[in-house]
Amino acid sequence: MASRPKRHTVAAVIGHETSPFELAVACEVFGIDRSEDFGVPWYRFMVVAAEEPPIRAATGFTIDTPYRLDSLRKADTIVVPARSGAPEAMAPQLIDALRAAHRRGARILSVCTGAFALAEAGLLDGKRATTHWFHAAEMARRYPNVKVDPDVLYVDEGDVMTSAGTAAGIDLMLHVVRQDFGGEIANALARRMVVPPHRDGGQAQFVDEPMRDASDGDLFGDTLAFMEQHLGEVCTIDDLAARSAMSPRTFARRFRAATGTTPHQWLTRQRVLLAQRLLETSDESIDRVAERCGFGSAAALRPHFQRIVRTSPMAYRKCFFECP
């Protein structure tokens, strides 16, 4: 088991409109002294104000703390929780403090949109990172040097770590405890928190991506509507091209130009989306779900589901649907 000879100092740094849940996770994991419980010197913890306190939380209450940004000089690990509002609206002094902490070797982790602060400080340039799936495209656009991965729950790049939305902060912080104190203590802490020590899959299983609305009048609106209405049936390129009054080659080329993907990939994605809905809302067998979605069998569904949703159909059902 790995343990530290002295107490490791963790600082959660917050500004106005900070999100209470993400801050509370850091307080729960690092802020409660568990030295006697686990027989190791637990973390020393402080909440640091990046702006003049009291700090206004996103839900209306205020947070006071005696610690200011100069206290980050004492921190071995810095946690940047999410905040509501425009993710790019960050105090310049916070960005400077994060850069200084990184230069001296501090470990820095973010939860949800807290990743924007790390990106603004340049700490994620050339590295993989994640954030809440809802903000991933904006992060990729704003910071092109960051390799944004919208599917995973967290990314560990050594001295900088990023996590996805809300509860993914728990996954990342338990990962940190596992690094610092070993799996036995991390698992015991997870039991205390009544959460799984490790979650399978990634953000993809939580992304709200409804079926395409084909009423937008684009070139393939009618064809896409037909495909969505017949997901359980065989749809060949020849059939779809004929419906669009094109040759198969022209149809495939113009389909990609209009949708950004191939007909096969688009159809597979829609079938997986339908499988997700059925797994969430019905108690039909996975084989039956696969048949209704056009895959034919659970064995055929499984690799596509795993690739797109990053978990298995069975694990997904356990997460979202409890059979009576």
Q: Residue 314 maps to which CATH number?
A: 1.10.10.60
Specify whether the CB–CB gap between 165 and 108 falls below 8 A.
no
Highest mean pLDDT among 42-51, 148-157, 297-306: 42-51
- In this structure, the answer to whether residues 277 and 153 fall within a common structural domain is no
Name 13's bridge partners: 48
Q: Which of 11, 164, 16, 14 is nearest to 81 (CA)?
A: 14
- In this structure, the answer to whether residues 176 and 57 fall within a common structural domain is yes
Residue 132 inside a domain? The answer is yes
Highest mean pLDDT among 4-13, 101-110, 133-142, 211-220: 101-110
Kindly state the helix (H) or strand (E) to which residue 12 belongs, with its residue range: strand 9-14
In percent, how much of the chain has pLDDT > 90? 47
CB atoms within 10 A of CB 51: 17
- In this structure, the answer to whether residues 230 and 177 fall within a common structural domain is no
Q: Pick the more confident residue, 282 or 204.
A: 282
Specify whether the CB–CB gap between 108 and 169 falls below 8 A.
no
Name 18's bridge partners: 57, 83
pLDDT band at 237 (very low <50, low <70, confident <90, very high): confident
Residue 275 inside a domain? The answer is yes
Measured distance CA(116)–CA(89) in Å, rounded: 9
pTM of the model: 0.65
For 81-91, write each residue's pLDDT tens digit. Answer: 988 765 566 78
Specify whether the CB–CB gap between 200 and 311 falls below 8 A.
yes
> Is residue 202 scored above 70 in pLDDT?
no
Residue 214 inside a domain? The answer is no
Residue 279 inside a domain? The answer is yes
- In this structure, the answer to whether residues 13 and 70 fall within a common structural domain is yes
- In this structure, the answer to whether residues 29 and 156 fall within a common structural domain is yes
Measured distance CA(200)–CA(178) in Å, rounded: 16
Domain residues for 167?
9-204
Residues 6 or more apart whose Cβ sits within 8 Å of residue 311: 200, 201, 202, 205, 305, 319
- In this structure, the answer to whether residues 183 and 276 fall within a common structural domain is no
pLDDT band at 101 (very low <50, low <70, confident <90, very high): very high
- In this structure, the answer to whether residues 309 and 263 fall within a common structural domain is yes
Residue 211 inside a domain? The answer is no
- In this structure, the answer to whether residues 34 and 139 fall within a common structural domain is yes
- In this structure, the answer to whether residues 257 and 143 fall within a common structural domain is no
Count of structural domains within the chain: 2
- In this structure, the answer to whether residues 140 and 229 fall within a common structural domain is no
Q: What is the pLDDT of residue 324?
A: 38
Q: What is the pLDDT of residue 274?
A: 87
Residue 4 inside a domain? The answer is no
Q: What is the CATH number of the domain that holds 19?
A: 3.40.50.880
- In this structure, the answer to whether residues 114 and 26 fall within a common structural domain is yes
Residue 78 inside a domain? The answer is yes
Measured distance CA(271)–CA(269) in Å, rounded: 5
Kindly state the helix (H) or strand (E) to which residue 148 belongs, with its residue range: strand 147-148
- In this structure, the answer to whether residues 17 and 149 fall within a common structural domain is yes
